[in-house]
């Protein structure tokens, strides 16, 4: 009878742990957000491996758009965003000021974003038998002369200019640029519904050697795999940029957490504060994943093995040794 009661009690404790979002040992998992693009999924995978193998933590992923995951982070339904693009989250400063989130560190700050074309559009590609299509295309304003080249299939009298992901600050700014530069007279501003849609448009055109122009950012697996050119624009100036009149600045991409998280997991938070990569390193990992068809976790393991010197800057010697043993 005592054994039966013990089994029932144990089952109830496990059930209570599940219902409360905790593991059976009472430890709440670390919940990472996934707003839907490859680079954040890669960084999530790296951090998850370290959380689990070095710090013995359970991890989970919360999926959703940027506004949804940001709200979850503020509420405490999620704990960590490994790649918060500060200029693309409208509530970022307000959320920090209100004490909902904290910055743990900068993941990278050497990124670029704007309107891109494949290099062969401007310079051609002799190996692929592609002649230059727009040899004088250098800037965003130059696009007004090439609408016929980037023909929109649904509205053939105009070109197609791919915009950014809906809900990102940069999309509203690019749309202002589209209007301010008079591109609305000769182009359709086409908003893709997701990163996957935008990436597919570029990759399909690239593989066929066709012209395509639109928003991209670095790092992505595309920037690591394809030879793309960022079209020039006026030098950055904050007020003018907000009106769509200049190039975009490099965006500070931070590791953000719910404000209560550092007290809950101080050791792991200390690691996150040391976690620093670069646009080039991230693009390298994403290109590896695209070329080898590796999963995010497999890519993360490859990355951690290849860049052991980086790991040594993130972790104490005994922690780094523990990670290497687990890999």
Residue 68: CB partners within 8 Å, gap ≥ 6? none
Tell me what percent of the residues of the chain surpass a pLDDT of 90.
80
d(CA 313, CA 276): 9
Residue 219, preceding bond cis, omega within 30 degrees?
yes
> Residue 300: beta bridge partners?
none
Classified by CATH at the fold level, domain 26-110+251-326 comes out as D-Maltodextrin-Binding Protein; domain 2 (3.40.190)
pLDDT tens readout for residues 133-168: 999 999 999 999 999 999 999 999 999 999 998 888
pLDDT of residue 93: 95
| pTM of the entire predicted model | 0.72
pLDDT of residue 18: 38
Classified by CATH at the fold level, domain 112-242 comes out as D-Maltodextrin-Binding Protein; domain 2 (3.40.190)
71 has pLDDT over 90 = yes
pLDDT of residue 195: 82
pLDDT of residue 22: 54
Do the first three CATH levels of 26-110+251-326 and 112-242 match, i.e. the same topology?
yes
CA-CA-CA-CA torsion for 314, 320, 324, 325, nearest 10 degrees? -150
pLDDT of residue 224: 80
Task: Give the pLDDT mean for 106-114.
Answer: 92
CA-CA-CA-CA torsion for 219, 225, 229, 235, nearest 10 degrees? 10
Confidence of residue 197 (pLDDT cuts 50, 70, 90): very high
Confidence of residue 251 (pLDDT cuts 50, 70, 90): confident
Give CA separation, 121 vs 126, 177, 202, 214, 273, in Å.
12, 22, 12, 13, 41
pLDDT tens readout for residues 4-56: 443 343 333 333 443 444 555 668 999 999 998 899 999 999 999 999 999 99
Give CA separation, 232 vs 29, 139, 162, 246, 267, in Å.
45, 4, 17, 9, 43
Tell me what percent of the residues of the chain surpass a pLDDT of 70.
92
Give, to the nearest 10 degrees, the angle between helix 279-292 and helix 296-306.
Answer: 130
Report helix, strand or coil for 32. strand
H helices present in 189-295, as ranges: 195-208, 221-225, 238-242, 261-264, 266-274, 279-292
Domain residue spans in the chain?
26-110+251-326, 112-242
pLDDT tens readout for residues 268-312: 999 999 999 999 899 999 999 989 999 999 999 999 999 999 999
The overall average pLDDT reported for the chain is 91
């Amino acid at each position: 009878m005592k054994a039966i009661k013990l089994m029932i009690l144990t089952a109830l404790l496990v059930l209570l742990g599940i219902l409360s979002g905790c593991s059976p040992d009472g430890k709440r998992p670390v919940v990472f957000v996934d707003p839907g693009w490859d680079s954040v999924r890669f960084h999530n995978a790296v951090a998850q491996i370290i959380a689990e193998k070095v710090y013995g933590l359970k991890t989970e992923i919360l999926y959703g758009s940027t506004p949804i995951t940001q709200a979850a982070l503020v509420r405490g339904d999620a704990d960590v965003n490994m790649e918060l693009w500060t200029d693309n989250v409208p509530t970022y400063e307000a959320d920090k000021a209100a004490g909902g989130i904290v910055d743990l560190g900068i993941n990278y700050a050497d990124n670029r974003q704007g309107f891109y074309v494949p290099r062969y559009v401007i310079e051609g590609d002799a190996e692929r038998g592609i002649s230059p299509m727009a040899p004088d295309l250098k800037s965003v304003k130059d696009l007004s002369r090439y609408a016929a080249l980037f023909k929109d299939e649904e509205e053939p009298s105009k070109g197609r200019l791919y915009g950014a992901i809906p809900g990102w600050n940069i999309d509203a700014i690019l749309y202002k640029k589209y209007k301010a530069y008079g591109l609305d007279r000769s182009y359709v501003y086409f908003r893709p519904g997701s990163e996957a849609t935008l990436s597919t448009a570029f990759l399909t055109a690239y593989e066929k050697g066709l012209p395509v122009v639109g928003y991209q950012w670095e790092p992505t697996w595309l920037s690591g795999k394809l030879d793309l050119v960022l079209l020039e624009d006026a030098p950055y100036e904050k007020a003018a940029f907000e009106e769509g009149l200049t190039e975009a600045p490099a965006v500070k991409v931070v590791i953000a957490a719910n404000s209560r998280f550092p007290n809950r997991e101080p050791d792991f938070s200390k690691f996150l504060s040391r976690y620093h990569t670069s646009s080039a390193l991230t693009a390298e990992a994403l290109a590896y994943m695209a070329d080898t068809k590796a999963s995010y976790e497999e890519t993360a393991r490859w990355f951690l093995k290849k860049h052991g010197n980086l790991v040594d800057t993130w972790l104490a010697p005994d922690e780094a040794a523990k990670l290497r043993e687990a890999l």
